[in-house]
Amino acid sequence: QSVLTQPPSASGTPGQRVTISCSGSSSNIGNNYVNWYQQLPGTAPKLLIYRSDRRPSGVPDRFSGSKSGTSASLAISGPRSEDEADYYCAAWDDSLSGGVFGGGTKLTVL
């Protein structure tokens, strides 16, 4: 059971906006930044969003992040076939004194 809660799957067409939620508590998301990672099959994770809503250089602007209270969301506007991957949210947890991840969400582009 992961500390952060994500839906196991999400799907959408290239013309849609897909959102993936991440729910936590006051000791993690409520008091710290949220980061999102993309993991393509057989590869190491890649940083997609940091400090809840910032994109590292090279990440397409169709990816965006937001945070409110103890929840966060990753949005993908007009997903492409190459975006089919597993997406993980993560944050520092002050009570555990460690990093925590969500269980991951598998994105399917229809």
Partner 1 sequence: EVQLVDSGGGLVQPGGSLRLSCAASGFTFSDYAMSWVRQAPGKGLEWVSGISGSGGSAFYADSVKGRFTISRDNSKNMLNLQMSSLRAEDTAVYYCAKGMHSGGWLPFDYWGQGALVTVSS
In residues, how long is the chain? 110
Shortest spacing between CB 39 and partner 1, in angstroms: 8
Task: Tell me which stretch binds partner 1 (CB under 8 A): 9-17, 60-68, 73-81, 85-93.
Answer: 85-93
The footprint of partner 1 on this chain (CB under 8 A) covers a number of residues equal to 27
Q: Which is nearer to partner 1, 50 or 77 (CB)?
A: 50
- Range 41-60, binding partner 1 (CB under 8 A): 44-47, 50-51, 56
Q: How far is CA 32 from CA 43, 44, 52, 78, 79, in A?
A: 27, 24, 9, 29, 28
Kindly tell me the burial class for residue 61, based on how many C-beta atoms sit within 10 Å of its own C-beta (0-12, 13-18, 19 or more).
exposed
Cα dihedral sign, 43-11-70-67: positive
Q: How far apart are CA 71 and CA 38, in angstroms?
A: 19
Q: Is residue 98 close enough to count as binding partner 1 by CB under 8 A?
A: yes
Q: Is residue 87 close enough to count as binding partner 1 by CB under 8 A?
A: no
Binding site for partner 1 (CB under 8 A): 2, 32-33, 35, 37, 39, 44-47, 50-51, 56, 86, 88, 90-92, 96-104
